[in-house]
Amino acid sequence: MGDHALALGTAWAGSVQAAGFIALPRRELTAALVERAGVLLDAASGTGDPAAAGAVGRWLVEAHFTHPSTLEHTLTVLGPALVRAGPDRGPAVLAALARGYAAALQERTRAEQERITAAAFVARTAAEQARWASEARFGALFADAAIGIAIVTAAGEIVEVNRALCEMFGRPADEVLHRSVDVYIPADDHEHRQTLRAMQAGELEHARLERPYAHAGGETIWTDIVLSLVRAPDGAPRFIVAMIADVTERHRLETSLRHQAEHDPLTGLPNRTLFFERLEAALEAGRHVGVCYLDVDDLKAVNDTLGHDVGDHVLQTLARRLAAEVGPGIGSGARAGAGGSGHLVARMAGDEFVVLVERPADRPDPAEPLRVAQRALDVVRRPVVSGPHRIVVSASVGVVEREDSASGSGELEKAADLMKAADTTLHWAKKDGRNRVARFDAERHRAAVARFELSARMPDALEAGEFVLDYQPLVRLTDQRLVGVEALVRWDPPGGDRIGPDVFIPLAEESGLIVPLGRWVLSEACRQGVRWREEHPDTQLFVSVNLAARQVREPGIVDVVASVLAESGWPAHALQLELTESDLMGTTGEPLDALPALAAMGVRIAIDDFGTGYSNLAYLRTLPVHALKLAGQFVTRPFATGMPDASGEDGHDGVDLEVLALLIELAHTLGLSVTAEVVETAVQLERLRKLGCDTGQGWYFAPPVPPAAVPALFSGPVGPT
Ligand code: C2E
Ligand code: MG
Ligand code: MG
């Protein structure tokens, strides 16, 4: 650390000395600043106390390093070194230093103001003298004070000013004296004017205000002004003593700290803090508010392939374009500055930007947010050139407006709700294929919330035993005998309506709950099979269980099936697993590894809803599959007219029938057994029978029933004969 602190402290001393008069000899100054530089470096690198930085700031004031540009020079020299020493803590150490400095300076000023006020009161008792300055004790204080002082009569005439005040404003005394104080607190500053009048009327003893003034040199100075009323012995208002401190430096510092706190360092755009502030203010003011929430597609790919520097450059370019082309407002006469129709463009996080589209309450333009979103999309799509690379990215945008209602109960009035809706909408844009704008849709949102709530309840429901299995008979078509049952899961929430698998199975697949739920279904179906066989030892029957895509892709699926069979004692050959065509294939397009292992165990594999996918029948020969379950539409459509013998006036039915016949024949050639789903009528049954279909399932035979209703079907034909 030593060398580092020495170099930094020396540079600091040089800069401070260059800035203005320093009473300390150079050697002492350097030694003092080297020591403090060490303290600051330690605080920034994390080995020292961060609060120490504030103390260094105070020390600067105590040591009288209070020339107006001292702080600026200090921050310029120390800033880069401290941030290098600690990229995370460096900026905070710097801010603490500045705050310590500003606070000490303010305290010093206040102390001086108090001394002067006290002296002014002493002067009052002594005084029918015309001139304050001639009162001995006050006179010295008045002349030497580092802060500006003006004495104003109750009528508002400026009768005394000191040297510090003249320097502060860069004006000679005679330019100020005998003018009305109203010149310095003009009428359009209503609040301060009122304060002044109240003091002149004797209704107010003290006041404090902060105001900008124009220095004679043209620049703006910020002043902190303390006003004290001095009364005549009879109590009537006599003078107002104004003590004025130059706080330009602190003001600038506060502004710059605020700027830092409200802007994103990479792109220079407003950050989420400022965005939320503005959004809340706009909502509060009752303005029309639209939010375009934009997420760059594929920025991760840019970072991963070309590096983070290129990724950063892309973000900076997009930020600049958005601010320039979307920020000013677009379309129907909206221009920057013209009626304040500009839009705030902010960076929310990583590759997320947001545009706040504001319109005055009396000038709505409902098309504006979508127009802005579309323009933002175009802006992002234009290629970004970064060194040798020409990069093209796209974006997804979610658009939501205050007038949208999320729950059917009023508008989106809270910033947080509005942003949540915008985020949801952005995800729709992603889900619908990216590179697009999605508009918030209350209906879709309600459905999504309902799905989410349902999904969130499922784990407890499984734990609490709210899922039940019904069983639907699988019937041999030749004699309508029961050969098996398909287990179909249902959700029976206590006190609620039964929920069907079409609703909750997709949710369980998304959340992953399908894995434990599917395992429960499998083991419950096998245990039920064992119970039936124990009660009716002569029945031969297999149990068919549906497996979801996610379940068969779980690495442990083969072990799960094996252990369920072992635990329940149900024979493998009496278990059929139903998978859909698309589930047979892994994500790579290869058949699933688990299939041969399951088949080797002796388990039957059936392809569920066959005909809804695109599998190549010939290809099935290479897979260990035992049965096809023809999708419902295959079975119902050829018979839909109710005229099975007519080949159909439009010829359509006849063609479907031929396809069905071919399908069954081909399946048989491949050694697969065929089950028809959704058999609802005698006509359908008769036709399927003729075509040589092996088994059927459907309401004609029986709907899915609770397990207790199954044994009644063991003997005799199922369904009307
Ligand atoms: P699926 O495996 O194709 O099941 C057949 C569906 O057709 C069942 O609907 C059944 O009630 C219905 N059905 C039976 N006969 C007829 C009929 O004659 N006409 C009509 N219109 N429909 C009939 P369900 O029980 O609502 O099940 C729907 C789907 O949910 C099932 O289709 C299956 O894909 C899935 N599913 C059900 N249980 C489970 C399960 O335990 N695990 C998994 N992964 N999926 C399941
Ligand atoms: Mg099924
Ligand atoms: Mg099916």
**What is the distance in A from the centroid of ligand 2 to the CA of 495?**
28
Give the ligand whose atoms come closest to the C-alpha of residue 514: 1
pLDDT per residue as tens digits for the range 18-33: 766 666 778 888 898 9
Q: Could you tell me if 598 and 577 are in contact, meaning their C-beta atoms sit under 8 angstroms apart? A: yes
Taking CA atoms only, the protein residue closest to ligand 1 atom 19 is: 678
Grade residue 48 by pLDDT with cuts at 50, 70 and 90. Answer: confident
| Sign of the CA dihedral running 186, 192, 196, 201 | positive
pLDDT per residue as tens digits for the range 225-277: 989 888 877 888 888 989 899 888 888 888 888 888 889 989 999 999 899 99
pLDDT of residue 453 exceeding 50, the answer is yes
55-59, 493-497, 692-696, range with greatest mean pLDDT: 692-696
pLDDT value of position 126: 45
Taking CA atoms only, the protein residue closest to ligand 1 atom 25 is: 488
* Domains along the sequence of the chain with CATH: 3-112 (no CATH), 121-252 (3.30.450.20), 270-440 (3.30.70.270), 456-711 (3.20.20.450)
pLDDT per residue as tens digits for the range 702-718: 999 999 999 999 998 99
Task: Map residue 90 onto helix, strand or coil.
Answer: helix
Burial of 681 (0-12, 13-18, 19+ CB in 10 A): middle
* Beta bridge partners of residue 355, listed in sequence order: 292, 345
Residue 580 Cα: closest atom of ligand 1: 34
pLDDT per residue as tens digits for the range 608-620: 988 776 666 667 7
Give the ligand whose atoms come closest to the C-alpha of residue 551: 1
- The beta-carbon contacts of 155-161 under 8 Å, at least 24 apart in sequence, are 155/200, 156/180, 156/181, 156/182, 156/196, 156/200, 157/181, 159/131, 159/239, 160/131, 160/132, 160/133
Grade residue 223 by pLDDT with cuts at 50, 70 and 90. Answer: very high
Across residues 572-594, what is the average pLDDT? 81
Residue 500 Cα: closest atom of ligand 1: 26
Residue 631 Cα: closest atom of ligand 1: 3
Residue 562's CB is within 10 A of a number of other CB atoms, namely 16
Across residues 52-61, what is the average pLDDT? 90
**What is the distance in A from the centroid of ligand 1 to the CA of 571?**
24
3-state per-residue secondary structure call for 332-394 = CCCCCCCCCCCCEEEEEECCEEEEEEEECCCCCCCCHHHHHHHHHHHHHHCCEEECCEEECCE
**What is the distance in A from the centroid of ligand 2 to the CA of 587?**
22
**What is the distance in A from the centroid of ligand 2 to the CA of 546?**
5
Grade residue 337 by pLDDT with cuts at 50, 70 and 90. Answer: very low
**What is the distance in A from the centroid of ligand 1 to the CA of 472?**
9
Q: Could you tell me if 320 and 451 are in contact, meaning their C-beta atoms sit under 8 angstroms apart? A: no
pLDDT per residue as tens digits for the range 556-570: 999 999 999 999 999
pLDDT value of position 50: 75
Give the ligand whose atoms come closest to the C-alpha of residue 680: 1
pLDDT per residue as tens digits for the range 280-289: 999 999 899 9
* Beta bridge partners of residue 630, listed in sequence order: 610, 676
pLDDT of residue 130 exceeding 50, the answer is no
Give the ligand whose atoms come closest to the C-alpha of residue 577: 2
Where does ligand 1 bind, in terms of residues with CB under 6 Å?
472, 488-489, 500-502, 505, 518, 521, 546-548, 578, 608-609, 677-678, 680, 697-699, 704
pLDDT of residue 123 exceeding 70, the answer is no
Pocket probe mutation, ligand 1, options 468, 486, 546, 636, max atoms within 8 Å of Cβ: 546
Type of residue found at 316: Q
pLDDT value of position 407: 59
* Beta bridge partners of residue 227, listed in sequence order: 207, 242
Taking CA atoms only, the protein residue closest to ligand 1 atom 33 is: 546
**What is the distance in A from the centroid of ligand 3 to the CA of 473?**
13
Lowest mean pLDDT among 325-339, 445-459, 516-530, 670-684: 325-339
66-70, 128-132, 402-406, 563-567, range with greatest mean pLDDT: 563-567
Q: What is the per-residue DSSP string for 475-529?
A: EETTT--EEEEEEEEEE--TTS--B-HHHHHHHHHHHSTHHHHHHHHHHHHHHHH
Pocket probe mutation, ligand 1, options 505, 526, 578, max atoms within 8 Å of Cβ: 505
Average pLDDT value over all residues in the chain:
86
pLDDT per residue as tens digits for the range 602-653: 999 999 988 776 666 667 777 889 999 998 877 776 554 444 444 444 434 5
Give the ligand whose atoms come closest to the C-alpha of residue 606: 2
**What is the distance in A from the centroid of ligand 3 to the CA of 362?**
57
